[in-house]
Amino acid sequence: MSRIGKKPVEIPSGVTITVGKDNLIAVKGPKGELKQAIDRDIIVEIKDNTIEFARPTDQIRHRAMHGLYRSLISNMVKGVTEGYKKELELVGVGYKAANQGNLLDLALGYSHNILFEIPKELKIVTAQEKGKNPTITLESIDKQLLGQVCAKIRSLRKPEPYKGKGVKFVGEVLRRKAGKSAGK
């Protein structure tokens, strides 16, 4: 059995989980509602304050989906109760970030500013304090969407290994290279 898949997901108070037709699971909580389609082979049971997942056979496909769907539902439960938050930092001279509603305006050293539209499910805040690097803070109840948008913003200017300039996550440790003067 999958160690992750057989572990039940605790349902906190204030959260309702419904399993609809076609194995569509809806998780509703104080911060919002999320839906996820589950493969028809995975068996979902709601008992007391927990939700359990089971698989019919030990095929590789069933074993893979068993832990996957348990993790997805667990992330949804955490999202509708606490929410998720990620911070990005812009390292480089002249790098700036500003937002107007859900439109993110980035100056990342290119000849033009990059306008990036953030999905309406995400909440965005940009901060630019004197003496510190500009930061972009994204919040959402959907962990998948949040991670995808952060990865897309980071891909606009990945941190380079020599000076560390680019868009990086706050607290991310970069692997630095010495450069050509270190060889002498």
Quickly tell me which residue has 């959402």 as its tokens: 140
Chosen domain end from 56, 81, 106 = 81
Task: State the pLDDT at residue 54.
Answer: 92
Tens digit of each residue's pLDDT (9 = 90 or more) over 31-40: 999 999 999 9
User: Is a pLDDT exceeding 60 seen at residue 1?
Assistant: no
Q: Which domain holds residue 28?
A: 9-81
Question: 6-43 as b/e, with b when 16 or more CB fall inside 10 Å?
Answer: ebebebeeebebeeeeebebebbbebeebeeebeeebe
Question: Do residues 118 and 159 both lie within one domain?
Answer: yes
Quickly tell me which residue has 């897309």 as its tokens: 152
pLDDT over 70 percentage in the chain: 97
Strand 166-169, strand 114-117: pairing: unpaired
> In total, how many domains does the chain have?
2
Q: Does a structural domain hold residue 175?
A: no
Q: Does a structural domain hold residue 110?
A: yes
Chosen domain end from 20, 50, 81 = 81
Residue 97: which H helix or E strand, with range?
A: strand 96-100
pTM of the model: 0.89
Give the residue among 13, 60, 28 at the shortest CA–CA distance from 41: 60
Question: Do residues 95 and 119 both lie within one domain?
Answer: yes
Task: State the pLDDT at residue 5.
Answer: 86
Q: How far apart are CA 79 and CA 93, in angstroms?
A: 35
Question: Do residues 89 and 164 both lie within one domain?
Answer: yes
Residues forming beta bridges with residue 87, ordered by sequence position = 137
Task: Over range 80-103, report the average pLDDT.
Answer: 95
Tens digit of each residue's pLDDT (9 = 90 or more) over 32-69: 999 999 999 999 999 989 999 999 999 999 998 999 99
Q: Does a structural domain hold residue 183?
A: no
